[in-house]
Structure 1
Amino acid sequence: MKHVTILVPKGNANLSSITGSHEILTSANAYWRKQGNKPRLEVTLASTESELKLDAGFVTVHPIHIQTIQKTDLLIIPSAPYSAQLIRENEAMIGWIREQYLGGAEIASMCTGAFLLAATGLMDGRMCSTHWSAEASFRQLFPKIKLQADKLITAEKGIYTNGGAYSFLNLILFLVEKYFDRQTAIYCSKLFQIDMERSSQSPFFIFQAQKNHGDSLIEQAQTYIEEHLSGKISFEELAAELAISRRNFDRRFIKATGNTPVEYLQRVKIEVAKKSLEKGRKSIFEVMEEVGYSDDKAFREVFRKITSLSPLEYRAKYNRGATSA
């Protein structure tokens, strides 16, 4: 039998990712036993505290202490609102997570639980996902980690991460299939009505202009880009206007925003296009021209690259009133 530890960190951890993980895993175990098998998992909640209040104090949980667990097979780190205090308050838990992994345990982090996972140092040089809204903060704090913010799930060397919010349900199904079998995962998918086919969180991205970096020159460049979406932008000319070489401009832009100037321009254009497709009745060609694309093929390729959907698919998903192409 495998031992699963769902951690409850200090700092108002997300209750749904704790209770949801517990419920699905125990339901998988019950289904597995009904098929005539022995129990596959033992699931416990653990923390450095004997009592924690969650959801603004509405719910109280009583986990066992992590030091009473000598060895576990799978650690689950739930989502928790990130702050520097979150890391400070959970230093003992972070060290324990690292020890358990080095002792053979696997780890699954959910949403912004990736910040606690990253603080262990285990993810340096490895792939990781987290909520799209935390992308800029995560990249700034943990530059050695290969953040894959578009991925719904990443898996590398016994460490599993997922994207934002309720996409933790897809990670739990992934773990059910790994620890039980495909049929049990399908059963849980049907029981809890979770779409098993999701593989990306890109359709749910809301691109945020990263302007809290403190580089005033790059902020000027960002503002210029955002105000000239419908025209052709020459980054050579923009760099010259800002009295900086193109090479240094690119370097500073990437350091400040996490994107090259071209990537930033594409993301801003596509975010504006997404909003037009969601709210209005403009045709896809009108939206394409509105954000400065004259090549239909190029627009569709960039749109799919960023959202994982075609413009037509995106509009069908988020705008019920629009019918024209």
Structure 2
Amino acid sequence: MKNVSILVPETAVIEAVADPHYMCKAVNQFLEASGKQALFNVELVGLSREIRLENSLFSVHTDKLLNEVKKTDLIFIPAISGDIKTALELNKEALPWIVDQYNNGAEVASLCIGAFVLASTGLLEGKKCSTHWLHSGLFRTMFPGVELVDGSIITEEQGLYSSGGANSYWNLLLYLVEKYTDRDTAILASKYFAIDIDRDSQSAFMMFEGQKDHSDDEIRKAQEFIEANYMEKMTVDTLADMFNIGRRSFERRFKKATDNTVVEYIQRVKIEAAKRSFESSLKNVNEVMFDVGYTDTKAFRTIFKKITGLTPVEYRNRYNKQAA
């Protein structure tokens, strides 16, 4: 029997509390139906007996207070909502408990931006992590010692798990089901919950918003120029000359400010424009390619798939039903 503790943080997203509970209970039912023993003993745990969420629209009653949980095998940290820094402050008293349980052998899984809570424990220092793509900039600023894996659905390192944005946590739940049971049970759960069991990237859902929350005015102007002129050909040398900065210094400052190389930034801006065109127009791949400043079909397709995880045609067919 695996003891599963679902932490109910202040400001938790209610679905991210209920869904792992539902998954564990369903897996127990699948196992019992096949003549096996139930595997998961699931409890909701927290800093108080009752936790009100979403302006008291929901009220969650925990099974145990944290200090009543002596030993657990797996901790789920659900996504939090609202202002992230405020939420972390409200839940800081739970952090030592997470650390103690991990040091005592428990594994810990964060769901979506529950990664901010997990990172606040210090356990992720020097390790890999996933979170919602929308909050990646803030995460990197707050936890520079954690290696954030862009676009990843699931990361695992030394008993610490994390998932990508929003519903991506279902893939982490399936991953853990397979780890703790077997492939057949995980496939059954994937069919029951209608989830693509082997989806491993959130890249197709990511919207690129250039990181401009920095103090380098010249680099910000360079970003704005790239975004306004993505349809044109541009090189690192021409951009550096335009802003009267040496190439090496320009590249170093650009990477420090935006967490992208100049070439990566240009590519991501162009591909974001291509994605919008595929979503909203009936243009073919070559027309979109030329619109965003590419002339080499192979290069465009390669870069598009690298960034989105899909080919241009696959992306258009998924997000533009009229074109499909």
- Shift in Å at residue 22 of structure 1? 0.3
- Shift in Å at residue 295 of structure 1? 0.5
CA contact (8 A) 1:177 1:185 kept: yes
Structure 2: stretches of 5+ with no match in the other structure: none
2 CA distance for matches of 1:50 and 1:216?
50
SS at match of 1:4: strand
1 CA distance for matches of 2:265 and 2:173?
33
- Shift in Å at residue 36 of structure 1? 1.8
CA contact (8 A) 1:32 1:180 kept: no
Letter paired with 2:51:
L
- Shift in Å at residue 237 of structure 1? 2.7
Alignment deviations for residues 56-111 of structure 1 (CA, whole Å, 9 cap, x no partner): 32110111211100111000000112521222221111121111111111011010
Tell me what 1:58 maps to: 57
SS at match of 2:35: coil
The answer on 1:293 being equivalent to 2:294 is yes
- Shift in Å at residue 217 of structure 1? 1.4
Tell me what 1:272 maps to: 273
Tell me what 1:95 maps to: 96
SS at match of 1:46: strand
SS at match of 2:114: helix
2 CA distance for matches of 1:72 and 1:239?
55
Tell me the TM-score normalised to structure 1 length: 0.96
Tell me the TM-score normalised to structure 2 length: 0.96
SS at match of 1:3: strand
Q: Once structures 1 and 2 are overlaid, which stretch shifts more, 234-243 or 23-32?
A: 234-243
Alignment deviations for residues 196-245 of structure 1 (CA, whole Å, 9 cap, x no partner): 13111001111112112232111101011112212221222322332322
Q: Once structures 1 and 2 are overlaid, which stretch shifts more, 98-107 or 269-278?
A: 98-107
CA contact (8 A) 1:154 1:162 kept: yes
- Shift in Å at residue 248 of structure 1? 2.0
Q: Once structures 1 and 2 are overlaid, which stretch shifts more, 111-120 or 192-201?
A: 192-201
2 CA distance for matches of 1:254 and 1:233?
17
1 CA distance for matches of 2:227 and 2:58?
44
- Shift in Å at residue 128 of structure 1? 0.6
Letter paired with 1:45:
L
Once superposed, which parts of structure 1, at least 4 consecutive aligned residues long, lie more than 4 Å away?
none
Matches within 5 A, 1:293-312: 293-312=294-313
Alignment deviations for residues 8-44 of structure 1 (CA, whole Å, 9 cap, x no partner): 111x211111101101111101211222222211000
The answer on 1:24 being equivalent to 2:23 is yes
Alignment deviations for residues 285-324 of structure 1 (CA, whole Å, 9 cap, x no partner): 010011110110000000000000000000010111115x
1 CA distance for matches of 2:123 and 2:42?
24
- Indicate the percent of aligned positions where both proteins have the same amino acid: 46
Matches within 5 A, 1:207-246: 207-246=208-247
Count, aligned residues: 322
CA contact (8 A) 1:47 1:65 kept: yes
Letter paired with 2:208:
F
- Shift in Å at residue 191 of structure 1? 1.4
2 CA distance for matches of 1:68 and 1:31?
30
Tell me what 1:68 maps to: 68
2 CA distance for matches of 1:279 and 1:95?
49
2 CA distance for matches of 1:76 and 1:136?
24
SS at match of 1:43: strand
Letter paired with 1:2:
K
Letter paired with 1:70:
K
Letter paired with 2:154:
I
